């Protein structure tokens, strides 16, 4: 069993005059793992996160970090001992990027030269060019600002990183990049990360464990992401996870059971001008990379080649296998090798059969 780093023991937070923002929260957060708090707006995610570093004090209950009650440490000291990243990067506008990153080490008494040197290294760690260190936050893109926010949180090398919707203000492409970057970082650093989002996709991509909060600050389910997708604990979690949850969990299933079959290929020069009445044929270029499909069309129906769907590689997930097969006009997903050359095809019917048997194994009650 994983070692606990942070524990909530029956923690409740009631703001003045309001309903409970967090209600009797009991949970244990694993050391060296990413735990994601996810849930709709107002369900108490931020409040729960901020109680960990005492930016918010609980009304009742106990929170421990590394076995020690957080109230045993002065709040300011506790806050500096944890990295904190928020939605808006929260950078100080009148300070350079380097000085922003160096803030907490400076407060902790590290010399100016030393903390700048470290800040410079951290730019590289979060994937930013070192020349950006001299700029001011307003001279950076949103994604770059968020990276600086992450660098700043890492500056004091804290064991715990608290991240409150850090990537929600950037566009989906940048967000994807930042998520990958965080996973890469975490692979090397193995911090205890608590990450808040209201996006279930982000939660399942990033989380070793996911805590789904329901309105009223109640913990609705706390489990590994594949379990939440496959077996939502109740109606609320099921609806929050969304309708295609039955397929999302395939992103965690291997495609080992899917057979790659040989396929007849032709080059573009061999392509008939009109649909032939033959079977589907895969059109490839000189390097054997897939171009599209020549369909078994009726005579006189126009150009014979139709674009193919997404590609499948050996070792991909079952989800990708399904995507490849279903997005292909022939019902055959194109499998390619590492050089992008055609390795064969996978049949939609067979992928669905593997999914079906995968499902019955899961529900077979092992
Ligand atoms: N300082 C405060 N004073 C009074 N009520 C507050 C305060 N902060 C939060 N609340 C209330 O507590 C509840 C939980 O708020 P919280 O910010 O923790 O939710 P959240 O899950 O982070 O929401 P969001 O996804 O919108 O960020 C909400 O009903 C909110 O209105
Ligand atoms: Mg919030």
**The pLDDT of residue 305 is above 80:** no
Tell the residue number behind the tokens 């992450």, with chain if given. Answer: 150
Q: Measured from the CA of 40, which atom of ligand 1 is nearest?
A: 25
- Distance between Cα 50 and ligand 2 center (Å): 10
Q: What is the distance between the alpha carbons of residues 340 and 290, in angstroms, rounded to a whole number?
A: 8
| pLDDT (0 to 100) of residue 302 | 54
**The pLDDT of residue 87 is above 90:** no
Task: Output the residue whose Cα is nearest ligand 1's atom 31.
Answer: 42
Q: Using an 8 Å Cβ cutoff, are 191 and 21 in contact?
A: no
- Distance between Cα 80 and ligand 1 center (Å): 23
**The pLDDT of residue 177 is above 90:** no
The more confident residue out of 280 and 48 is 48
**Mean pLDDT for the stretch of residues 291-313:** 73
| pLDDT (0 to 100) of residue 16 | 87
- Distance between Cα 253 and ligand 1 center (Å): 36
- Total residue count of the chain as it appears in this document: 366
Q: Which two tokens stand for residue 174?
A: 């940048």
The more confident residue out of 197 and 356 is 197
Task: Output the residue whose Cα is nearest ligand 1's atom 18.
Answer: 44
- The band of 366, judged by pLDDT with boundaries at 50, 70 and 90, is very low
List pLDDT tens digits, range 14-32. Answer: 998 778 999 999 999 999 9
**The pLDDT of residue 349 is above 90:** no
- The band of 245, judged by pLDDT with boundaries at 50, 70 and 90, is low
The more confident residue out of 196 and 141 is 196
The sheet carrying 60-65 orders its strands as 20-30, 4-14, 60-65, 68-69
- The band of 277, judged by pLDDT with boundaries at 50, 70 and 90, is low
DSSP percent split of the chain into helix, strand, coil, nearest 5: 35, 25, 35
Give pTM, 2 decimals: 0.71
Q: What is the distance between the alpha carbons of residues 287 and 22, in angstroms, rounded to a whole number?
A: 59
Q: Measured from the CA of 19, which atom of ligand 1 is nearest?
A: 29
| pLDDT (0 to 100) of residue 365 | 36
**Mean pLDDT for the stretch of residues 5-12:** 97
Q: What is the distance between the alpha carbons of residues 353 and 350, in angstroms, rounded to a whole number?
A: 5
**Mean pLDDT for the stretch of residues 330-347:** 92
Task: Output the residue whose Cα is nearest ligand 1's atom 29.
Answer: 42
Q: Please name which of 21, 7, 43 lies closest in space to residue 165, comparing C-alpha atoms.
A: 43
Say what the alpha-carbon torsion angle 142, 113, 78, 164 is, to the nearest 10 degrees.
10
| pLDDT (0 to 100) of residue 363 | 55
Sign for the CA dihedral angle at 209, 235, 352, 280 comes to: negative
- Distance between Cα 216 and ligand 1 center (Å): 10
| pLDDT (0 to 100) of residue 362 | 57
**Ligand 1 — pocket residues by CB below 6 A?**
15, 18, 21, 39, 41-47, 198
Q: Using an 8 Å Cβ cutoff, are 65 and 222 in contact?
A: no
Backbone angles phi, psi at 68, to 5 degrees: -100, 135
């Amino acid at each position: 069993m994983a070692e606990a780093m942070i524990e909530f023991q029956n923690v409740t937070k009631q703001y003045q005059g309001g309903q409970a923002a967090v209600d009797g929260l009991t949970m244990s957060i694993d050391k060296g793992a990413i735990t994601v708090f996810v849930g709709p707006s107002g369900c108490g995610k931020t409040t729960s996160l901020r109680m960990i570093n005492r930016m918010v004090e609980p009304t009742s209950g106990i929170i421990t970090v590394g076995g020690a009650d957080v109230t045993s440490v002065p709040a300011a000291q506790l806050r500096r001992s944890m990295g904190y990243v928020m939605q808006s990067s929260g950078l100080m506008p009148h300070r350079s990027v380097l000085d922003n990153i160096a803030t907490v080490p400076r407060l902790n008494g590290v010399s100016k030269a030393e903390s700048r040197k470290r800040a410079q290294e951290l730019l590289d760690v979060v994937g930013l060019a070192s020349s950006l260190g001299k700029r001011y936050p307003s001279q950076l893109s949103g994604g770059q600002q968020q990276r600086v926010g992450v660098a700043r949180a890492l500056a004091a090398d804290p064991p715990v990183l608290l991240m409150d919707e850090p990537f929600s203000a950037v566009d989906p492409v940048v967000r994807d990049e930042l998520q990958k970057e965080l996973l890469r970082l975490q692979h090397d650093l193995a911090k205890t990360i608590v990450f808040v989002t209201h996006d279930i996709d982000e939660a399942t991509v990033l989380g070793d464990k996911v805590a789904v909060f329901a309105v009223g600050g109640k913990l609705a389910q706390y489990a590994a992401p594949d379990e939440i997708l496959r077996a939502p604990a109740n109606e609320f979690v099921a609806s929050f996870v969304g309708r295609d949850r039955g397929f999302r969990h395939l992103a965690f299933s291997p495609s080992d059971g899917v057979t790659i079959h040989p396929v007849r290929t032709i080059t573009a020069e061999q392509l008939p001008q009109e649909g032939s009445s033959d079977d589907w044929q895969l059109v490839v270029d000189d390097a054997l990379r897939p171009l599209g499909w020549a369909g078994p069309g009726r005579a006189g129906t126009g150009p014979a080649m139709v674009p193919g769907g997404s590609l499948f590689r050996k070792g991909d997930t079952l989800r990708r296998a399904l995507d490849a097969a279903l997005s292909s006009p022939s019902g055959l997903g194109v499998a390619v090798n590492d050089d992008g050359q055609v390795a064969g095809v996978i049949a939609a019917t067979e992928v669905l059969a593997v999914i079906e048997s995968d499902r019955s194994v899961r529900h077979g009650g092992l």
